[in-house]
Structures are given as structure tokens and as C-alpha cells.
Amino acid sequence: MNSRSGSYPVLYPDLVAAGGLASALERLASELGAEITVVPGDWGPLTSAGIAAPHPGRRPLSVRAGADRRRFAVAGWSAGVELVTGETPDLRDVVRAGVAWGAGKGLAELTALLPFLHVGELAEAHERGPAAVVDVQWRRIREQAAVEPQFPEFGLLVEAAYAEPRLRQLYPFSSHWTLGFNAHTGSPCPPVIAVAPAHDGHPYRVRDSPHGDCLGEAATAAKAVALLPPAPGRRRRRRGVIRAGCRGVARASCWRRRASGCRSRPTPTGRRDKGSGGSRARTSSCVTTEGRASWPAAGRRRPRTGCAS
């Protein structure tokens, strides 16, 4: 919300009098006898601010003033995970939430003290540890696949991956119906491997990221899962014998790749899931040589060639 808009003085006269949200928080905390440290927000000092969290691992509680009505939206993050969210019209609740969040109170205690705060299922799992988060996310992914009968290939891929104990230890996610795996449960964390389901006559495709380079192809979900390296999280260099059709020569220029028969295929268009990816599918280039899967060496990523389909 722009502070110069006509609704700002009407909705937030206290913020106008104090000179912005950050100043209003400091003034109100002093009146309440609360000790907080206000830090800059992401949207400027007039409509956003943060309340520093001394508790180790917790980021400042972010606060932002709403534009449609008087409301203060708050969010608390730790280790790349949004643990608590909520909104309230009372700025005093925000100060109290900042104090409790910074003191390291547990999620259950936070919601008991401040009912306007909400905690999701994954956030609750994070308090129990990474293994609990992975279990919850696998259940959610499988439930998502079960209610998508128009795209059974995605469900087959999810179940094939879940049947592998080594993959059940990784954090799964979906983007444009591509199933990806992370070695960690927070963000930012680049995916270690991904598999795109078969669609429109195209085979299953193993990729180094949801929309990244193609590492191999397979006719069935089970065979695609079998192409994954023994320990995907370690990203060790490995070559497998894949005879199914990822064409092209790695590191070749675009015209040479086209001349050698490189074909890039987009992820399924017209289908959008509830995954973490963007709203549009992207094309990417094959990187296999002579039909063999090439796993990138640890810490390295193959350069993109820009070869169009």
C-alpha cells in the first residue's frame, strides 16, 4: 500500500502520527513496557517493519500493514521455513507477538497466547525434526496425486518414488507436475534431482532440477526412478546405460545441437499443480551423450546452451 493513498490516513492514523509503522511499533512498545528492537521491513518504514528475534535461528518477525482494511500481517521464519503467520487490526497484538517470538516460545504456546496466530501442519512437523517434515510432505504429495485422475502418470511417478527407501528420506515437492527431491527441508535449497512424468506420448524424463537439463529418459515410472543415482543428495558423478532417447551432445553450440538432433521438450502445458514452481512451463536442453545418463559432478552445474526446441 502506498502511504500517499487516500485510505492510509483513514486506516492508520496512529502510523501517520508516529511517522510510519516502525516508529509506531517502537512508541507502542515503550508504552507497554516491552523491550523490542525494530528493524527495517521489506516494503519501507511506513508500511512494513520487522521485530528482531534474539532466539537463535529465528528471523525477525515481519510485519506489514494491509491496504484493503486495517490489518497487520505477521510472519515468523526459521531455517528457511515459515513457522507462524497471522493478522490482527490491533498493533498491541503485534508487539506482544514480537516479544513472544523473540523469546523462543514454542508454536503451541504462541497460538495459545495469541489466538490470531496460525501454525500449519508442516510448521508443526518442523518442531519435531526433519524426519517428521519429510513424512508429512510425502503424505501430502501422495494425497495430491490421488486426487488428480486426469494425470495418472504423475500418481504413478509419486508411488514409484515412494516405494524407494532412499527417496523416502528426501523432501519431495512438485512443480508443473515434475517431482523433485531436496536433501534439506528448508529454503533456499536447490533440488538434487527431479523426474518429469510422461505426457503426450513423451517418456518420463530425469532432470537435474524441475526445469533443468535432461539426464535420461525411461518408458515407465519405475524405470525412471531406477535411473536415479544411489544417493541423489551426494550428486556424485555417475554414468548409466540408458538406451531411451535423450539426444544431443553436451556443451555443443546451439546450431551443432540442432544439427545432431537435439530436441527439447516442455513440461506438460495447460496443467498447473499446487507445487512451488511458477505459472509457466519452461523448455530445457538434453545433456546426455549417445543415450547415456550423465550425472553432474558434486558442486558443479552444466551450462545452459539456449538451444530451443
Q: Determine the average pLDDT of the residues in 111-117.
A: 97
The number of folded domains in the chain is 2
pLDDT tens, residue by residue, 172-182:
998 888 999 98
**CA angle, 231 as apex, 229 and 233 as ends, to 5°?**
110
174 lies in the same domain as 107:
no
Are 308 and 264 in contact, with CB atoms under 8 Å apart?
A: yes
Supply φ then ψ for residue 171, to 5 degrees.
-85, 115
Q: 63 near 48, Cβ under 8 Å?
A: yes
With respect to residue 142, please indicate whether it lies within any of the assigned structural domains.
Answer: no
Last residue of a domain, one of 67, 93, 127: 127
* Predicted local confidence at residue 71, as pLDDT: 96
214 with 282, same domain?
Answer: yes
For residues 250-258, give the mean pLDDT. Answer: 28
- What's the CA angle centered on 159, arms 163 and 272, to 5 degrees? 145
What pLDDT does 225 receive?
93
In a domain, 116, yes or no: yes
Domain end call among 112, 127, 142? 127
* Residue 121 shares a structural domain with residue 186: no
pLDDT at residue 197 is higher than 80: yes
Instruction: Indicate whether 11 and 116 sit together in one domain.
Output: yes
278 SS3 class: coil
Residues 19 and 117 both lie in one domain = yes
- What is the 8-class DSSP label of residue 233? G
pLDDT-based confidence at residue 6 (cuts at 50, 70, 90): low
114 in the same domain as 200: no
Better-scored residue on pLDDT, 145 or 239: 145
Is the same domain home to 75 and 194?
no
Mean pLDDT calculated for residue range 167-174: 91
Q: Hey, what's the cell of 133?
A: 517434515
pLDDT for 213 equals 85
Q: Which domain holds residue 51?
A: 7-127
- Does some domain include residue 37? yes
Q: Is residue 309 part of a domain?
A: no
The verdict on 154 and 284 lying in the same domain is yes
What pLDDT is stored for residue 191 in this prediction?
66
Residues 186 and 51 both lie in one domain: no
**Lookup: cell for 210:** 524441475
Cell numbers found for residue 84: 507462524
What's the longest Cα–Cα distance across the chain?
73
Residues 66, 87: Cα–Cα separation, whole Å: 9
| Pair 156, 193 in one domain | yes
